[in-house]
Structure 1
């Protein structure tokens, strides 16, 4: 976690709704703060400049310039608005490099919950759904009872009632979440299941409500989000889970490989 992220996390529960909007915008643009002014951040976030000025001071900075200087020191000179191949690769590299922060024990703790759950539910909507599907495809090779929700064309209500103590819910909450995401998350937490939230920094507002929070960056050099780091995080979770389950997981992988062969489902199996 960068110094700016740590300062935000320390005061986030005490911020007003407008201040939280401002911090969410800051978190979204940590990698390219150098190309923005405080006025532009005000426009991006929909938060007034005086409110942002108060926010910078609550975070311990005399001004936006001081905050931006810290971002530069932490991350190096940010890229300008260059949408070429080199800019794209550089941004993807930075997104993935940020995942190294999860080696502080957060990844391992979340994976222990995932591996030990009675039933594992993975929920993702909109752009989070492909990530949820991929995570399920990886984890079903290591353990049984891995469910992805919602099923195509279905609602969630009938499946959520099956979740309870001893289960784990992995919520994929990448930005531009549905308007009902907060209600969905709270229903999962009220079920007394453990909850793992995989989200970009705009999901940090939900961190106090979940058991485990695994952040990943969607920042891109162009106008569209990048999901490279999210998919890389899925690989990290799956590889760590493989280590935790050990021989038992290897046996399951062997049985699945045999099933592929018997059904002739996979080329070269």
Structure 2
């Protein structure tokens, strides 16, 4: 049993149900059907309530969880919670009110944990860097892309890596000590994440991560922790996006007239190329 629980899939209750389905009794299969249709029940309902909803006994439900590889319903619930903490989408009863409260909590926790002096130091780096390189994988990539879009309006030489369909090595090798690299790394990071950190140490580096990335602090010059978790199935990136907006605003202030002149030039080119919708429409 111990060896069996070492399997990575063991934490996924639905996967365990699928693996053991053929060996279940008719009553066990009825419970399986109910939980497959209502996976949130593992988290939100007691053993007694599951039994009542399926039309069976509490003892049968307890036996069911043992049959699919768990010591108890409590262990199955804890296993799903562990998966959620790792960033795996898990069904929940999170409603709109809970979502709003969670967003506010994430924003508050993120900014309460970051000193204003730290943000200003990073903004100074972003304003003065010879080149700014933004690196993001998976869910972090669109945040890096948005960061680039904002910074590009107020300063030159801003890029996002990796480029679509490309590898990183040929770009990382060109980085110098005049470069500032902002790396985004949220939970469920790729295996190459640590390799990237090892190979950008000669640059000025900023890591924006969730609490699970704090172990990488000694790899970088600045580490900003942004909270993304909730009881809902998916992580929320409202706090990291707000953090990006804050850094861009501070960088704009640091650049001063240089930034405003660049914005004016870009705005004029927008008009000449007729790229944007007329604001009067």
Q: Calculate the TM-score normalised by the size of structure 2.
A: 0.66
The residue number in structure 2 matching 1:167 is 179
1:100 paired to 2:88: no
Query: Structure 1 residue aligned with 2:158, among 135, 146, 156?
Result: 146
2:82 equivalent to 1:44: yes
Runs of at least 4 residues off by over 6 Å: none
Counterpart Cα distance in 2 of 1:128 and 1:228: 12
- 2:212 aligns with 202
In the alignment, the residues of structure 2 paired with residue 264 and residue 185 of structure 1 have an alpha-carbon distance, to the nearest angstrom, of 41
Post-superposition Cα deviations, 1:23-51, rounded to whole Å, max 9, x if no partner, equal xxxxxxxxxxxxx99x948x838xxxxxx
Runs of at least 5 residues in structure 1 that lack an aligned partner in the other structure? 1-35, 46-80
Equivalent pairs, count: 196
Q: Matched residues in 2 for 1:267 and 1:177: separation?
A: 38
* Structure 1 counterpart of 2:263, from 236, 253, 256: 253
Q: Which residue of 1 aligns with 2:44?
A: none
In structure 2, what is the equivalent of residue 123 of structure 1? 135
Residues 41-96 of structure 1 deviation map (CA, whole Å, 9 limit, x = unaligned): 8x838xxxxxxxxxxxxxxxxxxxxxxxxxxxxxxxxxxx7401000000001111
Matched, 1:187 2:187: no
Structure 2 residue aligned with 1:176:
188
Deviation of 1:104 (Å): 3.6
Whole-angstrom CA distance in 2 between matches of 1:257 and 1:208: 41
**Within 1, Cα distance between the matches of 2:142 and 2:233?**
20
1:88 aligns with 2:99: yes
Partners of 1:106 and 1:213 within 8 A in 2:
no
Do the aligned residues in 2 keep the contact of 1:218 with 1:227 (CA within 8 Å)?
yes
Deviation at 1:99, TM superposition (A): 3.1
CA distance in 2, matches of 1:117, 1:171: 15
Unaligned runs of 5+ in 2: 1-73, 84-91
Larger Rg computed on CA atoms: 2
Residue of structure 1 aligned with 2:147, choices 132, 135, 154? 135
